[in-house]
A and B are shown apart, each in its own frame.
Chain A
Amino acid sequence: MNPQLEPDEQNRSRVRAVLDLLDGARGVIAFLFVFMLGVAFSPVSLKTGHSIFLQPTTQLDILYEYAEYGLLACGMTLVILTAGIDLAVGSLLGFAATFFSLLTVGYGWEALPATGVTVGAGALAGLISGTLVTKLRMQPFVATLAMMVAARGLAKVISGGIKIQPGAQPWYVYQAGQPPVFDWLTSPLPGLGLQPITLAFLLTVLVLYFVVRYTTYGRTLYAVGGNEQAARLSGINVSLTKVLAYVICGITAAMAGVSNAARLGLGDPSEAGFTYELDAIAAVVIGGTSLMGGRGGMVFTFIGVLIIAYINKILSINNVQEAYRLLAKGGIIVAAVMIQQSRTRR
C-alpha cells in the first residue's frame, strides 16, 4: 500500500484491482452463464436420475465434437491479431480431409507420412495466401476468398467429386474396414479418457497460447495488428510476421481436416468444412479478439469456442426443434457477449 495516497485514493485503487480481476474473469463468467443454462435445462437419466448434461461422457463429447472448429479458431486468432482474415480455412479443412482420406483409404499410406504430407499441404496453402497478402498486396479478404474457392475445387478434382471412403472405388486399397489411424484418432487414450483429436485441439491452444503470449513473434503479431506503420518503422519484418500467421492457420486447418476425416470415417469433398470459416471467425470474435487486429488472444478464443460448443450441445441434448434452436442460439450468443464485453466504469 502506498502510504502517500489519501485513504480515499487507497480505496479507489483497491476497487480498481478488483475490477481488473473481474475484467479478466469476464469471459469465464460468460462461459459459466452458458454452463449453468446447461445444468438447469438438462434432461435426467431415466435409470439413475442423474443429469445427462453433467455426465463426464457428455462433457468430453462437447470438446470432441467441437475440436475441428476449435483448431480452425486457433489458427484464425493469429491471422485476426494481424488485422487480417482467413476465409479459406473451411475449404482447406475439406481439402485436407479429402486428401488425407485419398492417401490412407485410397493409396494405403501409413499414418505418419499421410499426416505429414497433408499438414504440409495446409502450410503451403497458408504460404500462398500469405504471399498474396504481403507481396502482391491483396486484401486478405480477397486473397483468402480466392484460396477458399480454389481449395474446394481441388478437393473435388482429386476425389472425382465423390466421398472418399472404403469401397467407394474398386481400386482403393481399403474396400472394407478402415485405416487404423482413423480408429486411433477417435478412441479415448488409455488412462486419459480423451481422444487424440480432442488432445490435439487442447495442445494447440496451449502451444499457441505460449507463442502468442511469451515469444517475440507473439509480440510482433500485436504490433503489426495494432499499428502496421509503426511496427514497420520500428524494424519489425511485417511481411514475415503475416505470412507466418497464415502458414500456422493453414496448418491448423489441415489438422482439423485430418480430424474430420477420422471422425467421419471418410473424406467429403463438398460438405466437409463447408461454411466452417464463419463459425471459426465467430468463436474468435465472441471470445473477444478484435477484428481490427492487435487486441485479444488465445484464452479469449478458447472461451469463445467453449461458449459456442456448449450452446450447441445444450440445444441438441434437449432435442430442441430446429427453428427454436436457431432463435435460442442467437439469444444466448448475444447474452454471453454482453456479459463478457460489459465495460466497468472507471
Chain B
Amino acid sequence: MRRMTLATVFGLVLLATGCGGPAKEDQGASGNGGKEQFVVGMSQCNLGEPWRQQMNKDVEEAAKAYPELRVIFKDAQNKSEVQQQHVKEFMQQGVDAIIISPKETEPLTAPVAEAYKSGIPVIVLDRAVNGEDFTMFIGADNVKIGRAAGQYLVKLLGGKGNVVELKGLMTSEPGKDRHNGFIEGIKGSQIKVVFDPDCGWQETRAMAEMNSALARFDKIDAVYGHNDPSAHGAYTAAKQKGREKEMKFIGIDALPHEGINYVKQGILDATFLYPTGGKEAVDWVIRILRDKETPPKKVVLPTRIFTKENVDAGGEEIP
C-alpha cells in the first residue's frame, strides 16, 4: 500500500512537470558535413502554438542556407522558469549566439542581460525584454497590422457597413494592438463595429459568438478576426446558417496551412501576415558572427496582405 502511494506521487510529479523527462531538446537541425563554425541556441517559449511552430520552421529553413551554422532548439512549454534555464544552459554549453522568443518580458530580462554581458550576442524575437542589455530586437507591429486591416476593409466595403470584430485575448498586448490599430484604420469612414466580443484567440469561442451576432443582426457586412482561426470559425458559423455569402471575412497571421490556405479556398477574403522573424534572426546571426557587422537595436518587420488575386504570387508587402 505504501509503495502504491509512493508510485502514485511519483507519477503525479512526472505528469505535473510535463510528460516527464527533461525539457525537449532537438539537436542539429541543419545536417552538414561537420564543418560548422557557429552554434546558435534557439529558445522558443511555447511550441504548442502553430505560429511559434512556424517561427521554428522559419529558423530551420533559413539555417539550411548556411552550412557553417548549427541550431540547437529548446521548447519552454509555456513556462518562464524553464526559459530562464534555457539561457543558463546555452551559456554553459558555450554557444556562439542566442535567439530567444520570450514568454514574458519581466522574468527573462535578467537572464538575457547576463548572457549579453558575458559577450554572447542575443537576438530577441517577437516579445521584447526591458532595458538595453541585448544585441537586437526583431518583431512586428500589431498596431500597424490592425490599421492595415481597417484600411483594407474601408476600401472593400466602400466606406460603410456593419462589422463584427472577433477580438483576441484583450488582456494581451497583441489583442489590444490589433484592436486599436483597426479602430484607427476605419476612422473617418461610416463603418460601424456592431458586435465585438473577446474570443481569446479560440475558434470555438469565435463560432459561438458569431452565432449570437447572426441572431442579433439581419445584415452583417464584414467580420474582422484578430486571428485567422477566429475568422474561419465565423465563416463556418455563417455557412451553417446559409449566410456566408452576405459578408466578407478577414483575419491576421497568414500561416501557410491556415490563413493562406483559407484565402486560396475562398473562405477568407484577406489575411495579413504577422511575420515570425525567424529567417531575419538567422540572417542577422550570420552577419554578426561571420561578417562582424553591428546590427541596429530594433528591426520592425513589414506585413503582407494575401488576397485571392495575389496569394499564388506570395502576397503583397504593405509598407
Contact = CB atoms under 8 A, between A and B. Distances in A.
Interface of A: 43, 45-47, 52, 55, 57-58, 61, 65, 137-139, 142, 145-146, 149, 153, 161-163, 165-169, 176, 186-187, 260, 263-265, 268, 270-272, 312-313, 316-317, 319, 321-322
A149 B265 contact: no
B197 interface: yes
B236 A142 contact: no
A117 to B, nearest CB: 24
Contact of A263 (B8, B48, B207, B257): B207
Contacts of A272: 204
The interface residues of chain A, by DSSP majority, are classed as loop
B233 to A, nearest CB: 7
Contact of B261 (A55, A167, A319): A167
13 contacts: A45-B216, A139-B8, A165-B257, A167-B265, A169-B257, A263-B236, A263-B240, A264-B207, A316-B209, A317-B215, A319-B196, A322-B198, A322-B200
Given A65-B211, A161-B53, A47 B265 contact: no
A240 B166 CA distance: 48
Given A55-B215, A168-B257, 4 more contacts: A43-B216, A167-B257, A264-B207, A319-B196
Nearest to B217: A46
Interface of B: 4, 8, 11-12, 15, 19, 48-50, 53, 170, 195-198, 200, 202-204, 207-209, 211-212, 215-216, 218, 232-233, 236, 240-241, 257-258, 261, 264-265
A319 B202 contact: no
A272 B203 CA distance: 9
Contacts, number: 90
A45 B48 CA distance: 41
Contact of A271 (B4, B204, B209): B204
Greatest chain B CB density within 10 A among A52, A272, A322 is at A322
B8 A138 contact: yes
A319 B12 contact: no
B50 A162 contact: yes
B252 to A, nearest CB: 17
A145 B15 contact: yes
Contacts of A139: 8
Nearest to A186: B240
A270 B204 CA distance: 13
A206 B204 CA distance: 26
Contacts of A61: 211-212, 215
Nearest to A273: B204
A47 B215 CA distance: 12
Contacts of B202: 271
A123 B233 CA distance: 29
Contacts of A186: 240
A57 B258 contact: no
Contacts of A55: 215
Contacts of A142: 8, 11-12
Nearest to A274: B202
Contact of A176 (B4, B19, B233, B265): B265
A306 to B, nearest CB: 16
Given A317-B215, A317-B216, A146 B11 contact: yes
A162 B257 contact: yes
A316 B207 CA distance: 11
Contacts of A271: 202-204
A256 B103 CA distance: 33
A231 B212 CA distance: 48
B244 to A, nearest CB: 12
B251 to A, nearest CB: 14
B203 A268 contact: yes
Contacts of A52: 215-216
Contacts of A321: 198
A257 to B, nearest CB: 13
Contact of B48 (A137, A138, A176, A270): A270
Contact of A163 (B48, B50, B209, B215): B50
A321 to B, nearest CB: 7
B204 A149 contact: no
A295 B82 CA distance: 44
A145 B16 CA distance: 10
B208 A312 contact: yes
